[in-house]
Structure 1
Amino acid sequence: MFYSTNNPKSKTSFSEAVLQGIAPDGGLFMPYSFPVLSKEFFASVHRLSFREMSFEVARTFLGGAISDPDLEKIVDEALEMDAPLVKVSPSVYALELFHGPTLAFKDFGARFLARTMAYLTRNSEREITVLVATSGDTGSAVAQGFYGVPGVKVCLLYPSGKVSHIQEQQLTTLGGNITTLEVEGTFDDCQRMVKEAFADRELASKKQLTSANSINIARLLPQMFYYFYAYSQLEDRQRPLVFSVPSGNFGNLTAGLFAWKMGLPVKRFIAATNRNDVVPEYLKEGRYRARPSESTISNAMDVGAPSNFARMVALFNNELAAFRAIISGYSFTDEETRACIRDVYDRQGYVLDPHGAVAFAGLRSYMEENRELNGVFLETAHPAKFRDTVEEILQMEIPVPGPLAICLDKPKKSIRIKSGLEELKEVLLASGENA
């Protein structure tokens, strides 16, 4: 069972939590408890395939909410890509999460969510509308994950002029059951509009809305998988393990915390951000100060009011000391991010994207005073997705993988709207009163 972060006494099933996306009171769904994986699981995890290990994690977490055969099928279809751990330097590893169809870590969550949602609605006659705000990679992953799924329409909102050209092409070229809205505003505006749409009574009476952002619990579940998989790939699993996570809306780091609660032996998580340093500031000064986001070269992290902070507060009972016991925070400017990309390429020959660079910089800062550990930073997107930025920094050509090259030649299909609920409602209601 799950509860709303706004009402710890509420009770909701997994199916209801997934299909609602966000609780009726505006809170995010959290599990009442975290089952801990067995010692036998961790002793043999290195002998399991990615899919076998992920199925066991999902099966333990869900406790029978989906039958084993159906869950195994969902996991197998969702994880048709690898998440290799690549040694960048002694004791430092990149967890490469960009080997899926849109070359970003969001593929794991979106593909699992799409298949889970299709399973949960297999006997329903009512069409579902998935409403998503994106600062870059979430939208394209959700679009690909849900493209052609029967009984589901997807509406994506992204901030005009604040995603890379390649990201925009991935967002806007599918068509079909995917509608893309180019919002005159910031990601925070898009996120606010989505929350307002969920709270609107007229929309609730005419549309069955759900979310595929990291506010949806079924997005976080598969993001746990690759934390366990990273651990299984380590050469020496006895050394303390530290994960550095590039953070914007904090869904990825929250998923890591969920894995930790299920028994993954993690010494520390590093919340690595760009100038949008709401959480590092909280960890340092003890005050949470949401504010308008600032544009950076690591644009998927340009979030000034991270939604998943509510889950972190619930996880730690709103105790600052509990936060600090497991999470350290670091933030970096664009200039520092560029310098990191240059330095890592010059020293190790490894090409970082701007988000992985922030994570690497955070890990490096932490390891200046903490040695003898396994440091894993999450490389969340292929550098070609930020080709213009990376090529300018390194003064070299970044090859564009096939899936990206294909979308660059397709025509853009999007609807430009103003920031606010009114025009969003018009679009959502235009497809029919009873859909």
Structure 2
Amino acid sequence: MKYVSLGTPDQSFSLKDALFKGLAPDGTLFMPENIPALSSDFISNFHTLSLPQIAFEVLKPYVTAEVPDDVLKRIVEETFSFEIPLVKVENGMFALELYHGPTQAFKDVGARFLSRLLGYFNQGESRKLMVLTATSGDTGGAVANGFHRVKGIEVVVLYPDGKVSPYQEYQITSPGDNIHAYAVKGSFDDCQRLVKEAFKDNELREKVYMTSANSINIGRLLPQMIYYFQSVALLRRQGFTEAPVVTVPSGNFGNITAAMLAHKMGLPVKRFIAATNANDVVPRFMASGAYDPHLTIATIANAMDVGDPSNFPRMFRIYNNNLELLKKQLVSQSVTDEEIRTTIKSVYKSRHYLMDPHTASGYLALKNEIKNDETGVFVSTAHPFKFGDVIDPLIDGGLNGAGYTIEFELPVRDASAVMNAGYRELRSKIERLA
């Protein structure tokens, strides 16, 4: 398997090159040169396999010739070492809970897989590897946890100051050691822009050996396909044989892109629903055909606060950049903060199932779109206790009363942990760490 850039697809790169470059030389994203089809026997029977076994078979075509089978088996066993359950919320609607990993968010799988792949490829390298990542909430904590104390790697995490939850900030800032967290005076889009500027800075890249741990890195994206194989496997084990409708809360559109890659490999999915918040560039594009990104709007579903989703070009490429083909497979729906609050409150009251704001957006979009004879899966991306400031006023007794509680204390940060949204300051920090 080779990897090509979205901008110049006639140039191909190895997996190792794609992982370590993060972005292609032309500044666009890497994609597999083709999407391999899984065997009909595997598609018929993968529900009989364990989660690591499914992951091995699905991911093997993407790493063949560069990662030995025994190494890939070890990596997927370490990555998929926690439960990913499917919970029935009401008739025909199931939540795929992706928050049972070490940082209680769906980003754990991608961060763990990428950290182990980079660790394997970086063996024997004399230079430090600098990993840059921007986060709107959960990515930063997952990356900080996944890369903490990995030998030979320094990590820089940029997050928008005052726009992540206190627990998210705790997870980003508390590891220390080789994890360097900076609060940026701006939005997530500013953080993402800074990371992209660093990768486009050829002078810096000659000095510093660096890559990204955002979903712009193909190594973060690929393992997320396994979530969707897991959802179908668990449905089959409960006697559901029809292809489900799959709904994904979407900000940077990496998770739903992974779901669509899984579908192209042969996973039976009837159609997809991308739930967004007020940052509705994709729903507007689906309606008008005009891709019109805007400045990020802050919402209570902060991990989805992305005004210009980086992974959308990847998703569009899967459908040959053809809007009519995309429309046959995807509906995208925007929900408001008030709708999210109402959904959290009503579902907890009627079903005694508590959702974080992102999960609630997925539930509501699925509820609005699903037909009576269909089975739907909505992705639950983060543990509710990450969002006490949103949930506490909505349910009797708040999170503590619902049995969700965690004690944490934010580290005291000094002035050097806060930065302006200008690239020069980031470059200076990177050069000092290298």
TM-score by length of 1: 0.96
User: Aligned residue for 1:54?
Assistant: 55
Cα distance in 2, alignment partners of residues 81 and 226 from structure 1: 12
CA contact 2:113–2:219 (8 Å) conserved in 1: yes
1:41 deviates by 1.2
User: Structure 1 residue 311 and structure 2 residue 314: aligned?
Assistant: yes
Correspondence 1:248 to 2:248 = no
C-alpha distance in 1 between matches for 2:71 and 2:21: 21
**Contact 1:276–1:293 (Cα < 8 Å) also in 2:** yes
- Distance in 2 between residues matched to 1:196 and 1:83, nearest whole Å: 36
Q: CA RMSD in A?
A: 1.7
Q: Within the alignment, does 1:356 sit opposite 2:359 as a pair?
A: yes
- Residue 35 of structure 1 and its aligned partner are, at CA, apart by 1.1
Structure 1 position 392, deviation (Å): 1.2
Cα distance 1:122–1:341, how it changes in 2: closer, same or farther (>3 A)? same
> Which whole-Å CA distance do the structure 2 matches of 1:6 and 1:97 have between them?
32
Q: 2:281 aligns with which of 249, 256, 278?
A: 278
SS of the aligned residue for 1:25 comes to coil
Shift of 1:224: 0.5
- Conserved? CA contact 1:173–1:411, under 8 Å: no
Deviations 1:296-325 (Å, cap 9, x if unpaired)?
Answer: 000000000000011122222211101101
- Cα separation, partners in 2 of 1:401 and 1:35, compared to 1, 3 Å: farther
Contact 1:384/1:401 (<8 A) preserved? no
Partner of residue 170, structure 2: 169
2:156 is the counterpart of 1:155 = yes
Give 1:412 shift.
4.5
Aligned equivalents of 1:105 and 1:411: distance in 2? 27
Ranges in structure 2 where 5+ consecutive residues have no aligned partner: none
Asked whether the equivalents of residues 169 and 410 of structure 2 are also in contact (C-alpha less than 8 Å), the reply is: no
User: Are 1:139 and 2:143 counterparts?
Assistant: no
Distance in 2 (alpha carbons) for counterparts of 1:77 and 1:42: 24
Aligned AA (1:154): V
Once the two structures are overlaid, the 10-residue window that deviates more, 136-145 or 59-68, is: 59-68
In structure 2, the CA distance between the partners of 1:223 and 1:247, relative to structure 1 (3 Å rule), is same
State whether residues 384 and 399 of structure 1, in contact with CA within 8 Å, keep that contact through their aligned partners in structure 2. Answer: no
1:114 and 2:115 aligned: yes
1:300 aligns with 2:303: yes
Aligned with 2:251: secondary structure?
coil
User: Residue in 2 aligned with 1:419?
Assistant: 421
Maintained 8 Å contact 1:143/1:171: yes
C-alpha distance 199-243 of structure 1, shift in aligned 2 (>3 A): same
CA shift for structure 1 position 202: 2.5
Counterpart residue type for residue 273 of structure 2: I
Q: Which segment is superposed worse, 132-141 or 40-49?
A: 40-49
Identity %: 47
Once the two structures are overlaid, the 10-residue window that deviates more, 236-245 or 110-119, is 236-245
What is the CA deviation profile of residues 261-318 of structure 1, one whole-angstrom value per residue up to 9, with x for unaligned ones? 1100111110100000111111112111111010000000000000001112222221
Partner SS, residue 397 of structure 2:
coil
Rounded to whole Å, the distance in 1 between the matches of 2:14 and 2:293 is: 31
Runs of 4+ in 1 over 3 A off after TM superposition: 399-407, 409-414
Gap regions ≥5 residues in structure 1: none
1:355 is aligned with what amino acid?
A: H
SS at 2:11 equivalent? strand
8 Å contact kept, 1:130–1:210: yes
The CA distance in 2 between the partners of 1:402 and 1:125, in whole Å, is 48
Could you tell me how far 1:44 is from its partner in structure 2? 2.0
CA contact (8 A) 1:271 1:327 kept: yes
> 1:170–1:407: 8 Å Cα contact kept in structure 2?
no
Q: Find the aligned partners of 1:317 and 1:79 in 2 and give their Cα distance.
A: 32
The corresponding residue for 2:375 is 374
- Seen in structure 2, the aligned counterparts of structure 1 residues 401 and 371 have a Cα distance that, compared at 3 Å, is closer
Distance in 1, Cα, partners of 2:429 & 2:403: 33
User: Does the aligned pair in 2 maintain the 1:353–1:383 contact within 8 Å?
Assistant: yes
Query: What amino acid is the match of 1:339?
Result: T
Per the alignment, do residues 236 and 403 of structure 1 end up closer, same or farther by CA in structure 2, a change over 3 Å counting?
Answer: closer
Secondary structure, aligned partner of 2:429: helix
> Could you tell me how far 1:411 is from its partner in structure 2?
4.2
- Residue 237 (structure 1) shift: 3.9
**Helix, strand or coil at the partner of 2:150:** coil
The residue matched to 1:7 in structure 2 has which SS?
coil
Aligned to 2:10, the other structure's residue is in SS state: strand
Q: Indicate the SS of the match to 1:94.
A: strand
Task: Give me the whole-angstrom Cα distance separating, in 2, the residues matched to 1:403 and 1:362.
Answer: 25
For 1:394, what is the secondary structure of its paired residue? coil
**How far 1:400 moved relative to its partner?**
11
CA gap of 1:113–1:43, structure 2 versus 1, over 3 A, is same
Q: How far is 1:58 from its partner?
A: 1.1
Q: Alpha-carbon deviation of 1:204?
A: 0.8
The Cα shift of 1:7 comes to 0.8
Change (3 A) 1:401 1:170: farther
Q: Which residue of 1 aligns with 2:26?
A: 25
TM-score after normalising by structure 2: 0.96
2:42 aligned with 1:74: no
SS in 2 for 1:408: coil
User: Which piece of structure 1 moves more, 11-20 or 412-421?
Assistant: 412-421
Q: Which moved more, 1:184-193 or 1:236-245?
A: 236-245
CA distance in 1 between counterparts of 2:317 and 2:65 reads: 24
Counterpart of 2:426, as a letter, is: L
TM-aligned CA deviation for residue 225 of structure 1: 0.7
Q: How many residues align?
A: 430
**Is the alpha carbon distance of 1:240 and 1:78 closer, same or farther for their aligned partners in structure 2, counting shifts above 3 Å?**
closer
SS in 2 for 1:393: coil
Q: Does 1:34 align with 2:35?
A: yes
In the alignment, the residues of structure 2 paired with residue 424 and residue 122 of structure 1 have an alpha-carbon distance, to the nearest angstrom, of 27
Structure 2 equivalent of residue 333 of structure 1: 336
- For each residue in 1:366-390, what CA deviation from the matched residue of structure 2 results, as whole angstroms up to 9, or x when unmatched? 11xx221220000000000001211
Q: Secondary structure at the match of 2:376?
A: strand
Partner Cα separation in structure 2 for residue 313 and residue 268 of structure 1? 15
1:396 and 1:276 mapped to 2: Cα distance? Answer: 31
Q: 1:75 to 1:207 in 2, by over 3 A?
A: same
The aligned counterpart of 1:64 is 65
Structure-2 separation of matches of 1:316 and 1:58: 21
User: Which amino acid is 1:74 matched to?
Assistant: I
